[in-house]
């Protein structure tokens, strides 16, 4: 009888829960993909600002990770026919003083195989190769100091920072039948000049898209051109990702449930970032007394998080404490406001200023910290996470390695470091920069990164967010991109009505909200023909746990315990007066 009842309960629970994320079977098939193409990315290894040029090449190789596996090498190392082992060649000659081997120029301009060439001074290249201009159908002219603050692409205007004060190469198309102008720079007076062109198998971009990249920048144009070049026949994508941010043990369970009710009314998949331990080491908010508590000590909040998972929410690990030690990093050392995996300060405007790896940065420490987080999630009765988001989008190289060993994917913006291509990294004072992705990629480290493209909504006056109007304008403009992702995050303590407004506005534009696992499924397994990708396998394990009878029983047992406690209190209160009356008599 007990066994039959257990089977019936399990079947009933599965029938209730599985429709919330029935896309898993489709994701499994999507994860079983053939081997991806290969691209050779060449970076500057000579001349002025070589290290910065190498970092930009790493960023561009990451973008190529949407469709291809990237190999990196220095430009001067190129040997004849090196490109033959790859499906495409990308040359990032974005600095000055780089020697270009004749073999590279011959192979790239041969017309055989896809080539993307990024260089701000095409005149020097054409001067070294007589007849090249006639071959490709456009001519490099004198550079200009004129400011071109926009790049026009497919009818939309993307920004180009006024701080991009380098000389702009003049380009004149001499054979319109041979050349397709993909994007143009535009000055304030309306003058336009080619920014990206295609001639046969050669795609030319007149500057590195990485400096001053932002949500509305010509960086998005380059990413789209690169994606279309590497995989011309890929389908259009119009997807949105919702992420609820910064849920820690100090979060209000009632507010979480109110927010969850608003999301359930929208009937869309979503994700939520969670850190498991709250720390106020110096008592900044508790009159000088240290405070520390975990999710396991907040059963009502843990129950609300389990309800989020049951409602189709993907819970993402967001560090362990969302702060580090007892130091201001950069605020007060309190969870939620500080960095955990990188050192930071504040600039004069109150904005975060990254300072480098922490003094105690060490892989063994990060391993221990993350393993403790997994243990705390288990004690709180939460499903084991398969996604990670670094607090404030920053971590050191050793921290990223520890994270990558435990998580098949992350949803975030990422720091990359100078020397990651050449293997020469200054551990004490590294060159680094943040990169955000317009679409899912597998980066040069082998990590799957899901995009965050819109930022976050914040009340007017905050320096740590964007206005609703700005976010929606970015999403509207990005509709001209083939891979158009409207991915954002929203803090749990803000007005749910604004989340509803943002969500319905994106849906009205044609964006479809999807789960992180569906977004990740476009990136196949590391090994060709390896079956389901690691992200698909990990997400299936997550949902299997959420769907399990054990997961359901956790809340039922807690309710029974609560009922027993309340019953005990009622008995004490009811018996107490009787005893007092008996003593009085």
Average confidence (pLDDT) over 117-145: 86
**What is the β-pairing status of strands 291-294 and 277-280?**
antiparallel
| pLDDT 10s digits, 410-457 | 999 999 999 999 887 766 567 999 999 999 999 999 999 999 999 999
Residue 19 pLDDT greater than 80, yes or no: no
Mean pLDDT of 366-371: 97
What number of residues does the chain have?
585
| Residue 585: predicted pLDDT | 52
Mean pLDDT of 19-27: 44
Asked if the model's pLDDT at residue 400 lies above 90, the reply is yes
Each as own residue / partner, the long-range contacts of residues 140-146 (CB below 8 Å, 24 or more positions apart, any chain) are 140/169, 140/170, 140/171, 141/169, 141/170, 141/171, 141/172, 142/170, 143/167, 143/168, 143/169, 143/170, 144/168, 144/170, 146/187, 146/191
| Mean pLDDT across 228-253 | 97
For the residues 77-90, what does the mean pLDDT come to? 96
Q: What is the DSSP letter of 290?
A: -
Place of tokens 């009818």: 155
Alpha-carbon distance of 265 to 391, in angstroms, equals 29
Instruction: Decide: 364 and 418 in contact? Cβ < 8 Å.
Output: no
CA distance 262 to 259: 5
As given in the structure block, the two tokens for residue 64 are 């190529």
Beta-strand ranges (E) seen in 418-482 are: 432-435, 441-442, 448-450, 455-456
Sign of the four-CA dihedral 169, 170, 176, 181: positive
For the stretch 319-349, pLDDT in tens is 999 999 999 999 999 999 999 999 999 998 8
pLDDT class of 32 with cuts at 50, 70, 90 = very low
Hey, is 395 helix, strand or coil?
strand
pTM of the predicted protein model:
0.90
Residue 19 burial (CB count, 10 A): 9
Domain boundaries 37-230, CATH class: alpha beta
User: Where exactly are the structural domains of the chain?
Assistant: 37-230
Antiparallel, parallel or unpaired: β 192-199 and 156-159: unpaired
Got the DSSP string for 47-106?
STTHHHHHHHHHHHHHHHTTTEEEEEEEGGG--TTGGGGSSEEEEE--SSS----HHHHH
**Cis amide leading into 149 (omega within 30):** no
> Which pLDDT score is estimated for 18?
38
């Amino acid at each position: 009888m007990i066994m039959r009842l257990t089977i019936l309960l399990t079947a009933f629970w599965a029938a209730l829960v599985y429709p919330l994320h029935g896309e898993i079977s489709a994701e499994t098939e999507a994860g079983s993909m053939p081997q991806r193409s290969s691209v050779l990315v060449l970076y500057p290894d000579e001349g002025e600002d070589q290290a910065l040029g190498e970092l930009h090449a790493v960023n561009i190789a990451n973008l190529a990770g949407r469709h291809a596996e990237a190999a990196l090498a220095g430009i001067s190392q190129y040997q004849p026919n090196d490109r033959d082992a790859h499906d495409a060649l990308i040359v990032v000659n974005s600095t000055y003083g780089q020697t270009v081997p004749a073999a590279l120029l011959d192979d790239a301009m041969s017309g055989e195989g896809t080539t993307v060439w990024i260089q701000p001074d095409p005149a020097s290249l054409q001067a070294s190769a007589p007849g090249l201009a006639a071959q490709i159908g456009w001519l490099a002219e004198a550079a200009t100091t004129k400011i071109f603050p926009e790049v026009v692409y497919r009818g939309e205007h993307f920004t180009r920072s006024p701080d991009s004060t380098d000389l702009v190469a003049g380009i004149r198309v001499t054979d319109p039948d041979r050349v397709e102008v993909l994007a143009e720079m535009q000055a304030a007076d309306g003058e336009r000049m080619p920014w990206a062109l295609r001639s046969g198998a050669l795609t030319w971009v007149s500057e590195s898209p990485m400096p001053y990249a932002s949500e509305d920048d010509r960086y998005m144009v380059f990413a789209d051109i690169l994606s279309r070049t590497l995989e011309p026949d890929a389908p259009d994508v119009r997807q949105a990702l919702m992420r609820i941010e910064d849920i820690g043990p100090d979060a209000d369970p009632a507010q979480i449930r109110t927010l969850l009710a608003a999301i359930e009314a929208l009937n869309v998949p979503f994700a939520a970032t969670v850190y498991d331990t709250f720390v106020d080491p110096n008592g900044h908010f508790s009159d000088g007394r240290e405070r520390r508590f975990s999710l396991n000590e907040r059963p009502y909040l843990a129950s609300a998080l389990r309800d989020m998972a049951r409602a189709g929410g993907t819970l993402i690990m967001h560090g362990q404490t969302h702060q580090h030690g007892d130091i201001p990093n950069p605020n007060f050392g309190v969870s939620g406001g500080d960095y955990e995996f990188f050192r930071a300060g504040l600039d004069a405007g109150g904005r975060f200023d990254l300072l480098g790896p922490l003094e105690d940065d060490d892989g063994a420490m990060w391993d221990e910290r993350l393993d403790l987080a997994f243990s705390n999630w288990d004690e709180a009765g939460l499903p084991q996470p398969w996604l990670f988001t670094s607090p404030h989008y920053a971590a050191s190289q050793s921290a990223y390695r520890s994270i990558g060993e435990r998580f098949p994917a992350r949803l975030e913006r990422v720091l990359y470091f100078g020397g990651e291509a050449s293997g020469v990294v200054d551990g004490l004072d590294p060159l680094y920069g943040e990169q955000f992705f317009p679409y899912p990629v597998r980066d040069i480290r082998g990590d799957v990164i899901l995009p965050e493209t819109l930022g976050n909504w914040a009340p007017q006056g905050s320096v740590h967010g964007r206005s609703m109007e700005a976010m929606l304008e970015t999403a509207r403009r990005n509709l001209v991109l083939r891979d158009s992702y409207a991915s954002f995050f929203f803090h749990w303590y803000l007005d749910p009505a604004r989340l509803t407004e943002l969500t319905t506005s994106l849906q009205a534009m044609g964006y479809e909200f999807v789960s992180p696992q569906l977004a990740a499924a476009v990136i196949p397994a590391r090994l060709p023909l390896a079956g389901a990708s690691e992200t698909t396998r990990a997400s299936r394990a997550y949902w299997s746990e959420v769907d399990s009878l054990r997961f359901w029983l956790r809340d039922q047992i807690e309710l029974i315990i609560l009922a027993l406690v309340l019953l005990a209190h009622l008995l004490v209160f009811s018996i107490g007066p009787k005893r007092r009356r008996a003593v009085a008599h």
